[in-house]
Amino acid sequence: MEVVNSFMTWILKNRIGQIENFRKQPFRIQKNIFDELIENGKSTEFGEKYGFEHINSYEEFAKQVPIHDYEQLKPYIEKTMMGTQNVIWSTDIEWFSKSSGTTSSRSKYIPVSLESLEDCHFKGGKDMLSIYVNNYPDSKLFTGKNLTIGGSLAKNPLSETSDSHVGDISAVIMHNMPLWAQFARTPSLEVALMGEWESKIERMAYEVKDENVISISGVPTWTIVLLQKILEITGAKNILEVWPNLEVFFHGAVAFGPYKNLFKELIPSEKMRYMETYNASEGFFGIQDQPNSDELLLMLDYGIFYEFIPMDEWDKENPKVIPLWEVELNKNYALIITTNAGLWRYKIGDTIKFTDTDPYRFRISGRTKHFINAFGEEVIVENAERAVQTAADATKATITNFTAAPVYFGDSKSKGAHEWVVEFQTFPDDEKVFCEVLDNTLREINSDYDAKRYKDLALSPPKIHLVNSGVFQKWLKSKDKLGGQNKVPRLSNTREYLDEVLTFIEN
């Protein structure tokens, strides 16, 4: 295995020179990507509609093609899912990544072309490994297995007679991985792609506990659930007793900070490394390329052309949109992408702040809306408002205000949850039913929340404080924010607001 480790490390390090190239020539690389995307889009239905044949510059592109959200691209995507090709991209699309939905859609279906698989998602994974072994020459990464925690696949619901499939992006990637990558990972593909999470975690735990696991890749939430199950069935005190050679956790999807102490409890080693990536259904965008910094390097040669909307322009009817070469440091931007899967000037919903422009490094600063995404559940304000109103209607209650925030994992045996403060003018006629309807409605309208809540595997039932009218007014008054323009934040991914409001309940 040492020979394999040395060979694979040598192969991967060869990519570092190409990464250095886009670090040094970001604008040339992005210009080349732009030209390739326009050329590929010319013959598509979308390209013909917006006159790609006559687009010869970024300025013309920005003038002719509007910014799109999912609902605006949805008709093109659904037409592709129903079997029509060359709608948004020039090659056939047979894979669709299922992602958390919008106000009117329970789930989004993001097209995944062959080009985006090969030149974006796979390339991002290889670059993650390349940067890692370059930063840590003593790594034994390829002397054992990579534990990959992924989602599941299903037939395309809009065209069950076709060969196309939908699923979590992790499942799409795993199903299409090259043979060498399949050999290096665990568990088996059959178990990795199971859809029923309780059985899946159980089978994964039994299948991987005796492997020589060197690295783990996944979302912190599900990784914790799996590690806790492994400790339960092995009786081990910590994961190092199970996998003494474990050296790195590659993570993404949610902020890692709240989980770090828990991982240190589960994996008590100062040598354990943590490396963040920024990848999503829509593409692979960033990699933590410095061992002692949480900044992410913007990956510029993955078939994605980047644009940005300053957040102070976000709510305007015609917001200012700028290319990479016009961004400023420490300014909050909404991310806009054009990709090699047919997402044209697409609002992904994330916000970032650049920390460096030589090379382009950034931190994820949040979402374009209030949200809770502490565990990968992506609950947005629209979800929360609908759930609260449905619960109120079911129990003849009148609501005046509410806010919610996450309850993070407290120790290696605990689970996360959501905590709510809901203020009433008229209390529910059955408080238990109110809480159940709120939770169940969220599960019905948000597939990611439902997955985390399934049999309480990753999220416990929400903790809901039902309070009399006036609590939020007292809180706003204490902050000198009484008035029509000052609103209670519906959702927050931190506990800053909620903890303050709770003090007014206790007092």
Question: What does the DSSP 8-state code read for residue 41?
Answer: H
> Model pTM greater than 0.85?
no
Helix axes 197-208, 220-234, angle to 10 degrees: 60
**What is the pLDDT, as a whole number, of residue 105?**
60
The rounded distance, in Å, linking the Cα atoms of 319 and 328 is 17
The rounded distance, in Å, linking the Cα atoms of 402 and 467 is 10
Q: What is the pLDDT of residues 131-170, one digit of tens each?
A: 999 999 999 999 999 999 888 899 998 987 788 999 999 9
Sign of the dihedral through C-alpha 223, 228, 234, 236: positive
**What is the pLDDT, as a whole number, of residue 104?**
55
The rounded distance, in Å, linking the Cα atoms of 453 and 397 is 25
Q: Are 190 and 150 in contact (CB under 8 A)?
A: no
Domain boundaries, the chain: 2-96+301-367, 116-287, 371-506
* 9, pLDDT greater than 80: no
**What is the pLDDT, as a whole number, of residue 66?**
98
The rounded distance, in Å, linking the Cα atoms of 288 and 33 is 22
Task: Please state the φ and ψ torsions of residue 166, each to the nearest 5 degrees.
Answer: -125, 155
User: Closest Cα to residue 279, out of 93, 29, 97, 37?
Assistant: 97
> Strands, E, within 429-469: which ranges?
463-468
Instruction: Please tell me the least confidently modeled range out of 83-87, 252-256, 380-384.
Output: 252-256
Q: What is the pLDDT of residues 398-412, one digit of tens each?
A: 888 899 999 988 766
The rounded distance, in Å, linking the Cα atoms of 361 and 299 is 9
**Long-range contacts: 53-61, Cβ < 8 Å, 24+?**
58/31, 58/34, 58/323, 61/34
**What is the pLDDT, as a whole number, of residue 183?**
83
- Element counts in the chain: helices (H) and strands (E): 19, 21
Q: What is the pLDDT of residues 53-96, one digit of tens each?
A: 999 999 999 999 999 999 999 999 999 999 999 999 999 999 99
| Domain 116-287 listed as CATH 3.40.50 | yes
Q: Show the CA angle centred on residue 427, arms to residues 422 and 428, nearest 5°.
A: 95
Segment holding 449, helix H or strand E:
helix 447-453
Task: Please state the φ and ψ torsions of residue 102, each to the nearest 5 degrees.
Answer: -100, -175
Q: How far apart are the first and last CA of the chain?
A: 63
* 485, pLDDT greater than 70: no
Cα-based distances in Å from 434 to 381, 401, 430, 466: 18, 15, 6, 10
| Per-chain mean pLDDT for the chain | 92
Query: Which structure tokens are listed for 55?
Result: 């687009």
Mean pLDDT throughout 243-250? 98
User: Closest Cα to residue 398, out of 468, 462, 463?
Assistant: 468
* 348, pLDDT greater than 60: yes
Query: With pLDDT > 90 as the criterion, what percentage of the chain qualifies?
Result: 73
* 385, pLDDT greater than 70: yes
The rounded distance, in Å, linking the Cα atoms of 467 and 480 is 22
SS3 for 269-328, per residue? CCCCEEEEEEEECCEEEEECCCCCCCCEEECCCCCEEEEEEEHHHCCCCCCCCEEHHHCC
